[in-house]
Structure 1
Amino acid sequence: MMDRRTLFVLALVGAVLGLGTWWFLTNMHEVTQQVRAPQGAAAQNNRWLAAGTLLQRTGLTVRYVEDATLAMPAAHDVLIVPVEDESVTVEVFNQQMNWLRLQGGTLILGVQGNEFVYRSLLRDAGITLSSSKQPTQDAPTLAGSVLPPGKVDRAQLQLKGLDYPLSLTRLPAKSLHVEHNAMVIGSDGPDGQTMIMQTRNSVFAFVASGQLFSNSLLNQEDHAELLWRLMYANGQPGTIWIVTGGRAPPWYVLLWRNLPGTLILSALALILLIVRSLPRFGPLAPEVQTVRRGLVEHLAASGRWLFRHDEANLIAACQASLRAALKRHQPRLALLPTPRLATMLARLSGKDEKDIALALSQGAGHDPRAFTQCIALLQSLTLMIENPAGPAYDHAD
Structure 2
Amino acid sequence: MNRNTLLVAAVLLVLTGSLLGWFFTHYEQYSTERNLGFTGKAASNDFYAAELFLAKYDMTVKSYDSILTMKELPGKDDVLFIPTQRFDIGDDRVTELLDWVKQGGHLVVLARYNQSEDEERKDVLFERLGVRAQRNYSDNPFAELFESDIDDLESVLEDAEAEPSSDATQSRAETNNEDSSTDIKTDDTVEGELAKNPENSEWKDKRSEREKFEATAIPIVVKVNDKIEDKKVYFNQKKWMQNESSFDTSWTVDGENGAQLLEFKMDDGWVTLLSDINFLTNHYIDKFDHAAFLHTIVHIDDSRRTLWLIRNDDSPSLLALLFANANSAVIMFLVFIAAWLWYASRRFGPIAPDSQAIRRSMSEHITSTGHYQWRNHNRTELLESVQKALHEQIAQTRPLWVNLTEKKLAKKLAKVTGLDQDRIYKAIIVKRVGKELEFSATIQVLSIIRKRL
TM-score by structure 1 length?
0.50
- 2:232 corresponds in structure 1 to 167
Mark the CA change 1:140 to 1:121 in structure 2 (over 3 Å): closer, same or farther: farther
Query: Which has the higher mean CA deviation after the structures are superposed, 198-207 or 106-115?
Result: 106-115
**Partners of 2:101 and 2:271 within 8 A in 1:** no
Residue 158 (1) aligns with residue 162 (2): no
Q: Map 1:263-302 to 2 at 5 A.
A: 263-266=327-330
Amino acid at match of 1:47: D
Correspondence for 2:251 among 185, 192, 195 = 185
| Number of aligned positions between the proteins | 233
- 1:73 corresponds in structure 2 to 74
Aligned partner of residue 193 in structure 1, secondary structure: strand
**Partners of 2:62 and 2:306 within 8 A in 1:** yes
**Whole-Å Cα distance in 1 between the matches of residues 235 and 332 of structure 2?**
46
Mark the CA change 1:100 to 1:237 in structure 2 (over 3 Å): closer, same or farther: farther
**Partners of 1:111 and 1:208 within 8 A in 2:** yes
**Partners of 1:112 and 1:173 within 8 A in 2:** no
**Whole-Å Cα distance in 2 between the matches of residues 118 and 108 of structure 1?**
19
Aligned partner of residue 217 in structure 1, secondary structure: coil
Mark the CA change 1:149 to 1:223 in structure 2 (over 3 Å): closer, same or farther: closer
TM-score by structure 2 length?
0.45
Aligned partner of residue 270 in structure 2, secondary structure: strand
Correspondence for 1:148 among 213, 217, 225 = 213
**Whole-Å Cα distance in 2 between the matches of residues 140 and 268 of structure 1?**
55
Question: Aligned residues: percent identity?
Answer: 15
Query: Which has the higher mean CA deviation after the structures are superposed, 116-125 or 203-212?
Result: 116-125
- 2:111 corresponds in structure 1 to 111
Residues 24-79 of structure 1: CA deviation (Å, up to 9, x unaligned): xxxxxxxxxxxx99411210011111010001000111111111233330111000
**Partners of 2:254 and 2:261 within 8 A in 1:** yes
**Partners of 2:264 and 2:272 within 8 A in 1:** yes
Residue 128 (1) aligns with residue 132 (2): yes
- 1:21 corresponds in structure 2 to none
Mark the CA change 1:241 to 1:137 in structure 2 (over 3 Å): closer, same or farther: closer
Aligned partner of residue 252 in structure 2, secondary structure: strand
Deviation at 1:268, TM superposition (A): 8.6
**Whole-Å Cα distance in 2 between the matches of residues 61 and 137 of structure 1?**
32
Q: Map 1:232-271 to 2 at 5 A.
A: 232-245=299-312, 248-249=314-315, 251=317, 254-266=318-330
Mark the CA change 1:40 to 1:164 in structure 2 (over 3 Å): closer, same or farther: same
Q: Map 1:1-397 to 2 at 5 A.
A: 38-71=37-70, 72-102=73-103, 104-113=104-113, 119-132=123-136, 138-139=155-156, 146=210, 147-171=212-236, 174-178=239-243, 182-189=248-255, 191-245=258-312, 248-249=314-315, 251=317, 254-266=318-330
**Whole-Å Cα distance in 1 between the matches of residues 279 and 54 of structure 2?**
15
**Partners of 1:112 and 1:209 within 8 A in 2:** no
- 2:445 corresponds in structure 1 to none
Aligned partner of residue 187 in structure 1, secondary structure: strand
Aligned partner of residue 167 in structure 1, secondary structure: strand
**Whole-Å Cα distance in 1 between the matches of residues 283 and 305 of structure 2?**
26
Amino acid at match of 1:105: G
**Partners of 1:173 and 1:208 within 8 A in 2:** no
**Whole-Å Cα distance in 2 between the matches of residues 239 and 140 of structure 1?**
35
**Partners of 1:66 and 1:243 within 8 A in 2:** yes
Mark the CA change 1:263 to 1:215 in structure 2 (over 3 Å): closer, same or farther: same
**Whole-Å Cα distance in 2 between the matches of residues 215 and 40 of structure 1?**
12
**Whole-Å Cα distance in 1 between the matches of residues 237 and 228 of structure 2?**
28
Mark the CA change 1:43 to 1:173 in structure 2 (over 3 Å): closer, same or farther: farther
**Whole-Å Cα distance in 1 between the matches of residues 134 and 278 of structure 2?**
18
Deviation at 1:257, TM superposition (A): 4.9
Mark the CA change 1:129 to 1:117 in structure 2 (over 3 Å): closer, same or farther: closer
Aligned partner of residue 259 in structure 2, secondary structure: coil
Question: Which stretches in structure 1 are left out of the alignment for 5+ residues?
Answer: 1-35, 272-397
Residues 120-166 of structure 1: CA deviation (Å, up to 9, x unaligned): 4323433222223766885259x995143453242222224455432
Mark the CA change 1:92 to 1:125 in structure 2 (over 3 Å): closer, same or farther: closer
Deviation at 1:117, TM superposition (A): 9.8
Residues 171-199 of structure 1: CA deviation (Å, up to 9, x unaligned): 27521122597423231347032222323
**Whole-Å Cα distance in 1 between the matches of residues 267 and 126 of structure 2?**
17
Deviation at 1:208, TM superposition (A): 1.5
Higher relative contact order (CA 8 A, sep 6+): 2
**Whole-Å Cα distance in 1 between the matches of residues 61 and 259 of structure 2?**
29
Amino acid at match of 1:228: H
Aligned partner of residue 256 in structure 1, secondary structure: helix
C-alpha RMSD over aligned residues = 3.7
**Whole-Å Cα distance in 1 between the matches of residues 292 and 333 of structure 2?**
55
Amino acid at match of 2:67: A
**Whole-Å Cα distance in 2 between the matches of residues 117 and 74 of structure 1?**
31
Amino acid at match of 1:171: N
Amino acid at match of 1:186: T
Amino acid at match of 2:286: N
